[in-house]
Chains A and B, each alone.
Chain A
């Protein structure tokens, strides 16, 4: 069964600092993807970045990047030059490609990030 764990319920940083949010997961599938979403204070879920399991290269998108440690089944989201607007709840989610057409994501509990000015 799939499971996603985010052990940091909260995190904080100062404006301009690099922030790392951790996530670990459990899956028996070979092909899967890990997504990162951010939930704004309005409740809206915004996609940030994803990492396919078969890609050994860490993905990067703007100020977001991931550190993917497949053998440890862990992935970290790295936010460079954090800004107060980055504050919100960050969710890690697992998608197993074997479950074709389901679109099912398994989410972690989230990490509430506060970036101080």
Chain B
């Protein structure tokens, strides 16, 4: 059974719309992350959360907003979608405790977003 659940697996959106990508992890981890994989680009770090607090944000645009309602949830809200936002978005988690960084990451299967 997958321990990191991402919903939906595929998502098609129109330009200018807003979507929320869901991520839940059942590994008991304290840290969660979002990465993006665009066509012909390496996987890019977007956000990291530890104990539901933002630790790092490498996303230039405020259109991307992570939302953590529970320790094991980290959703990603994307507003005013653009075709350039088309990518596969991966959620990940790690054991990482405060003061312990860069643990081994476990990834979800990803949400493939296509913006038309």
Contact = CB atoms under 8 A, between A and B. Distances in A.
Interface of A: 4, 33, 35, 37, 42-47, 50, 91, 93, 95-97, 99-110
12 contacts: A43-B88, A47-B105, A101-B56, A102-B55, A102-B101, A103-B55, A104-B48, A104-B58, A105-B35, A105-B43, A107-B43, A108-B42
Interface residues of B, number: 32
A103 B57 CA distance: 11
Interface in B80-116: 88, 90, 92, 94, 96, 98-110, 112
A37 B88 CA distance: 16
Nearest to A4: B42
A106 B44 CA distance: 7
A42 B101 contact: no
Contacts of A103: 31, 33, 45, 48, 50, 55-56, 92, 94, 96, 101-103, 105
A33 to B, nearest CB: 6
Most buried by A among B50, B90, B96, B105: B105
B4 to A, nearest CB: 10
Nearest to B90: A45
B94 A43 contact: no
A47 B99 contact: no
A36 B94 CA distance: 16
B109 A107 contact: no
Among B58, B101, B108, max chain A CB count under 10 A is at B101
B56 A104 contact: yes
Contacts of B96: 101, 103
Q: Quick one: which of B41, B42, B112 has the most chain A CB within 10 A?
A: B42
A86 to B, nearest CB: 18
B109 A44 contact: yes
Given A35-B104, A44-B107, A109-B41, 16 more contacts: A35-B105, A43-B109, A43-B112, A44-B109, A45-B92, A45-B105, A97-B102, A99-B56, A101-B98, A103-B45, A103-B92, A103-B103, A103-B105, A104-B48, A105-B105, A107-B42
Give me the 6 closest cross-chain CB pairs, A-B, nearest first.
Answer: A45-B107, A102-B56, A95-B102, A107-B43, A107-B42, A103-B48
